[in-house]
Amino acid sequence: MRYWIITGTSKGLGKALAEILLKDSNNVVFGISRTNTFDHPNFHFIKTDLSDVNQLLDFQFPDLIFPELIVLINNAATLGAIKYTGDLENSTIINAQTLNTIAPHVLMNGFIKKYHDDNEISKVILNITSGAASSPYDGWSIYGSGKAAMDMITQIAAKETELRKQNFKIVAISPGVMDTGMQNQVRNAEPDHFSRLAKFENLASENKLVSPSIAAEKLIDLILNPYLLTETISRL
């Protein structure tokens, strides 16, 4: 069996990934989120608030039966608030960075710790990153810094498992600007807190947003053909 552990499966890219994977009976999906939208025999809901440190500390990865592939996809993330530094609420920063940065790192740590023993089994960690990791969008200090941190964690973990000769493929991929609820939040930003608002409004009005389903199909294809994953940090 192929086991997929995905955060944020209740909507957006995470939901699209799960929907596609569940069409194949060889896939078992563990969805980590606060709410569940699936009723499928191969879907296992793990109710977790990834912005809650105590729930992260208690999180346990499942024991798996005869795995041929084990995948962790760190997808869940939040913009937090699109505001300039100095205008943000401290609680917003803390909650968002817990979800965007601490949770993926904790899950990567637990995933490697749990499944590192058997080098005969292929294991993949895919972190969903963004162009905001390397582009300083004003108003996006929470999201951009979180994705930048995730990219560095990805590169370090990839180097560490390589040095230990452990059978992990660890990458971060940006799927592009997708048509999700996050983009609605972007387009509702206040212009004086986001100077590039018009660009994102135009992407939507000109139908240039990426479908989550199309992005999900491409990501799954890459994971199932790991020889295509030639770069640690990349975009679709």
Catalytically active residues are: 143
Q: Is 225 exposed, middle or buried (0-12, 13-18, 19+ CB in 10 A)?
A: exposed
Whole-angstrom distance, CA of residue 77 vs CA of residue 102: 11
234 phi, psi to nearest 5 deg: -155, 180
Return the SS3 of 18.
Answer: helix
Whole-angstrom distance, CA of residue 183 vs CA of residue 96: 17
Handedness of CA 158, 47, 27, 121 (dihedral sign): positive
Return the SS3 of 73.
Answer: strand
